[in-house]
Amino acid sequence: MLHPMEYQAIRMGNGMEDDTSPRIGVIICNCGQEIAGLLDTEDLRQLTADIRGVVYTNCEAYPCSKDGQARIRQAIEDHGLERVLIAGCAPRLVEKLFRETVESAGIRGNYLEVVDIREGCVYVHPNDTKAAFQQAADIIEIGVARLGTITLPHEYCAEIVRKALVIGSGLSGLTTAIALADEGIRVTLVEQDSRLGGKTFPLQSGAAELITQQVKKIKTHPNVHIMLNSHVTSVSGQPGNYTVSACQGNNTSALNVGAVIVASGAEPQKLNGYDWYDRSRVRTHLEFDAELDDASKTEHGLVQSDVVMVLDGGEINGGRGSPLNSNSTIRQAIRVKQLSPDANVTLLFRDLYLGVQGGPGEDGFMYAQELGIMFFRYYKGRPPVIHDSTIEMHDHQTGEITRIPFDRVVFSLPIMPREGTDSLAGLLHLPQDEQGFLIEPRFPLRPDDASADGVYVSGSVHLPVDTAETLFQAYITSARTKHFLAQETICKNPPVAGIDPGLCTGCGACAQVCPTQVIQMVKRDGLLSLSEVDELRCIGCGNCLVVCPVKAIALPGWSDQTILAQISAALETTRYQNSFNGVSENKPRIVALTCEWSAYSAAEIAGARRESNFPDVKIIRMNCSARLDPDHILWAFLNGADGVFVGICNPGECHYRTGNLYARERVKRLKNQLADHGVDPRRLHLEFMSGDDYKKFIGTVTRFANQLSVEQTSLKSEELVHPGGWNGKTIRNRSMGA
């Protein structure tokens, strides 16, 4: 094992702490014999004491114990520590505990760094003391480099207005509004029609009766103000304190609310564009429902004897099917047989969406078959054709044409968002799916990293749903809204993007790539529109920092200075090892820039599972791959990296929605630029992976390292210099067989 004094000799030119460096304390956990059984933690402590900025080091048997925490607090007081690094087990296991420890001693939790030398070193090198020690030394120095450069995030707070706006008066909107009003919350209910109830209740099982009861209650509720024939025209403000303009005829009302619930619902498409059939014999689902209501009130019942119901799955009239479409159509077919048992009822469909297995949809389908209702599937590209008295069907199994007689054809058309949904999506910055339904953004971050913005989506405006699901969503939404409005203030402490107005040029690039649309262009002095961030809604992905051409945006904890310092530390320590530990010069030096939600998590799991074939790479944790800047990769190459591995979330799994897609495009463009400047693009590798796919992490990084190792045997000694200088440094051409 290398003696700490040898490391000290190699660092003599770097200097020690100065008056401007933060005072950093490093505590190395022995973890009983889990760590100390393999590593000489005292040697590691002596080595760590030589790192610039480190003024205190100590080895603790169990720093997570009550006694250990007490000694950490005492060390902070005695040595005037400003930042603390704990080298022990995985951060996910103990970071929260140690944050509370340092905060109780007066240090902000952001100034704590937990690095993993147990799973990341000891468990993956159980039979190689030297490799484990080297890895631990690297990890600690990378952590100290981060601590020495991070800045504190600001705390943003705002008061919450204990009022709510509910848009839409269908079953979901009414249920949510009543639940909030019953809790003493003032609610304004905005409905674009002249009556309450929405458009889809005839399709929802038992919804008509529920809506009748709720309409009666809400009209007399003292905490509900109803605005019919109204629509929202503008929304401004911030979470917990929105100013909403609602237009009612020629009058516009300004509403001050803390939360907005969008429950504007959906409606079946209109039956348009068909002129080759007799409209008197063709009905929509809702029109036929009214006929059945009338038939149930007469002695003769239903007049029609041949009823063909066409469940439109999008092939005929656009749109798409849903469980609400399928189940309501089956219920209507059953109703026909109940009114007229001798009637011939045929249901034509392309796809049936019955909902959960064993649920009411499946039960209804089985009961319909018992009643003698015929189900006939048509296929994409061959929809049914309506003639004067028959419907022509192509039998996919026999290849023959089947003609089904009818005296009534019923179209169950796709359910689509109501008119005005696109406008609401724009006003409230809500994403939409391909059909126009609203998607409530959910970012699966840590509780401390993101706060609710008080905007919720419920009911069929999100996706066509039946009564039970509608009520479930309404109750969940009302509970979330009550919890949000119960706060007196909303505060956010995690890192969020901050824009320097003195540097911003108003290019607007940041606003275009923001996944939460919290960056707006605001006019300053009537001359120039500059970017401005809604701090309470920012999720801190860092995408805006990468695209800003003048570096006017800062993200505390994830600045360029911090990331580049970690890369430099990773590569610098590798050179110490090559010089003194007999590590082969041909062994590739690889920096892994890993998303903490995917590749970094996979690496942690690999360590926890004691995978001894763990690849020799220097892992740097990124908050999101959206923060990946091509400059970070170039900096690694400029500082001697043989390869850079980028590990990011699978498409569709990014915690910040699209960060991985931006990272993929940036790496793709950079690889092309590297090739143009004589650097083999295969030295840069990007891999998608899940957070639990430790086998893929080990496999892909190992293959990457092996490829670099093989090709290094045929290295040429030439040095290529970028025409523009690239900071005046050179990049060795790792030809990799070129």
Instruction: Name the residue ranges covered by the structural domains of the chain.
Output: 1-152, 159-267+419-491, 272-413, 496-547, 584-738
Other C-beta atoms within 10 Å of 93: how many?
16
pLDDT at residue 677, rounded to an integer = 86
pTM: 0.79
Class of domain 584-738: alpha beta
In angstroms, the CA 121 to CA 98 distance is 21
pLDDT at residue 597, rounded to an integer = 94
Nearest of 219, 204, 192, 259 to residue 471 by alpha carbon: 204
The CA-atom distances, in angstroms, between 440 and each of 263, 276, 416 are: 12, 41, 17
pLDDT at residue 389, rounded to an integer = 87
pLDDT at residue 298, rounded to an integer = 80
Any idea what DSSP says for residue 414?
A: P
In angstroms, the CA 637 to CA 644 distance is 8
Indicate the angle between helix axes 360-370 and 323-339, nearest 10 degrees. 30
Task: Give the 3-state secondary structure of residue 471.
Answer: helix
Architecture of the 272-413 domain? 3-Layer(bba) Sandwich (3.50)
pLDDT at residue 299, rounded to an integer = 72
Name the CA dihedral angle for 360, 366, 369, 375, rounded to a multiple of 10 degrees: 70
In CATH terms, the fold of domain 1-152 is Rossmann fold (3.40.50)
In angstroms, the CA 241 to CA 500 distance is 25
pLDDT at residue 4, rounded to an integer = 38
Judged on CB neighbours under 10 Å (0-12, 13-18, 19+), 14 is: exposed
What's the whole-number average pLDDT of the chain?
87
Residue listed under structure tokens 């929605």? 657
Q: Which helix (H) or strand (E) holds 101?
A: helix 91-104
In angstroms, the CA 644 to CA 633 distance is 7
Nearest of 149, 156, 142, 187 to residue 169 by alpha carbon: 187
451 band by pLDDT with thresholds 50, 70 and 90: low
719 band by pLDDT with thresholds 50, 70 and 90: very low
Give per-residue pLDDT as tens, 659-715: 999 999 999 999 999 998 888 999 999 999 999 999 999 999 999 999 998 765 444
In angstroms, the CA 301 to CA 196 distance is 30
Domain 159-267+419-491 has CATH 3.40.190.10: no
Give per-residue pLDDT as tens, 130-176: 999 999 999 999 999 999 999 988 888 889 999 999 999 999 999 99
More confident residue, 66 or 311: 66
Question: Is the pLDDT at 580 greater than 50, yes or no?
Answer: no
Q: Which amino acid appears at position 364 of this protein?
A: G
Mean pLDDT across the stretch 269-291?
A: 77
In angstroms, the CA 673 to CA 679 distance is 9
Structural contact between residues 573 and 644, judged by C-beta atoms closer than 8 angstroms: no
CATH number given to 496-547: 3.30.70.20
Q: Which helix (H) or strand (E) holds 646?
A: strand 643-648
**Among the ranges given (82-96, 322-336, 514-528, 590-604), the one the predictor scored with the smallest mean pLDDT:** 514-528
Token representation of residue 165: 């706006």
Give per-residue pLDDT as tens, 466-499: 999 999 999 999 999 999 999 999 887 788 999 9
Domains 1-152 and 584-738 share a fold: yes
pLDDT at residue 507, rounded to an integer = 94
